[in-house]
Structure 1
Amino acid sequence: MDLRAVLVDDEQLARDELGFLLGRIGGVEVIGQAGNGVEALTTIDRLQPDVVFLDVQMPGLTGFEV
């Protein structure tokens, strides 16, 4: 059973790269992405992932605040 993951970063390129790398190692299914902290809270609540990869520095809510 794969880990269900959400990727959160304000830079689309960073989310794309991390998603690509996770796809190559297997065992992780990216089920959602968010581009800021507020969007992250909604996405996490809605999708209930096993793991969340959070950027630390984002405009608005930081990864620590999320």
Structure 2
Amino acid sequence: MIKTMIVEDEKLAREELKYLINKEDDFKVVFEAGDGQKALDILNKHQLDLLFLDIKIPGINGME
């Protein structure tokens, strides 16, 4: 299983992407974050295989 995380501040976009990813047999969204700081907190504690990252998010942006 490929463990993924979605970082997206728009809830509807995050939910749609999660739906599409979870339809695939080998992929599973295990974490979601709506801002950069929450994403960093999760990434510092957990090992993931793939990250879907919005560049323009509140707080710490996707490029930082």
Q: Which runs of at least 4 in structure 1 moved beyond 6 Å after TM superposition?
A: none
Are the equivalent residues in 2 in contact too, given 1:3–1:27 (CA < 8 A)?
yes
1:58 CA displacement: 0.9
Structure-2 residue corresponding to 1:36: 35
Point out the more displaced range, 24-33 or 2-11. Answer: 24-33
Over aligned residue pairs, what C-alpha RMSD do you find? 1.0
TM-score (norm 1): 0.88
Aligned residues: 64
CA deviations on 1:12-55 (whole Å, 9 max, x unpaired) are 11111000001122211111011100000001122211111100
| Counterpart Cα distance in 1 of 2:44 and 2:30 | 13
TM-score (norm 2): 0.90
Q: Where in structure 2 are the equivalents of 1:12-51 lying within 5 Å?
A: 12-51=11-50
| Counterpart Cα distance in 2 of 1:42 and 1:49 | 13
Structure-2 residue corresponding to 1:63: 62
Q: Percent identity?
A: 38
- Stretches of structure 2 that go unaligned for 5 or more consecutive residues are none
